[in-house]
Amino acid sequence: MKMLLGRIIEPRPILTIFLLLYLLGIAWLFVTGESSSYSSIPFGKLLMIKLITLFTYILLAHYTLKNIKIIVWLMAAVLVLSGVGATLFGLFSVGPNQYLLKIFCLIIGGYFVVGGIMLPKNRRIMEK
């Protein structure tokens, strides 16, 4: 169990899960054709913003794994802010009867916060 937990907190799985969940959000937007969070932005512009953001996150993840110090800190900040956002969304925006979504948001939010904190600490591991 300890070995599995140690592997999940390494930089590569953290970044992979972050990118996959962001890609899943883009796929959901593409399938539904709307997003209530961004109702004032037209669908085409919103999709382009999301795709450009995904490309930026992929570049950040790539250079994070190459162990560039400023990029590691920037990606750590992105992960912590995303984790805090997911946690707050799970606590305050999800309805009281949606237990699975609430639990999922809290777990993913906590994972990204811990991952963002651990990312700069794992720079020594990435150097090996």
Summarised one tens digit per residue, pLDDT across range 72-94 is 999 999 999 999 999 999 999 88
Indicate the average pLDDT of the chain: 86
Total structural domains within the chain: 1
pLDDT of 50-59, one tens digit each?
Answer: 899 999 999 9
Local confidence band at 25 (pLDDT 50, 70, 90 cut-offs): confident
What does the pLDDT read at residue 5? 64
Q: Which domain holds residue 115?
A: 2-127
Measure Cα distances from 86 to 101, 105, 124 in Å.
Answer: 11, 6, 28
- pTM for the model stands at 0.85
Instruction: Please choose, from the candidates 19, 3, 11, the residue with its C-alpha nearest in 3D space to the C-alpha of residue 67.
Output: 11
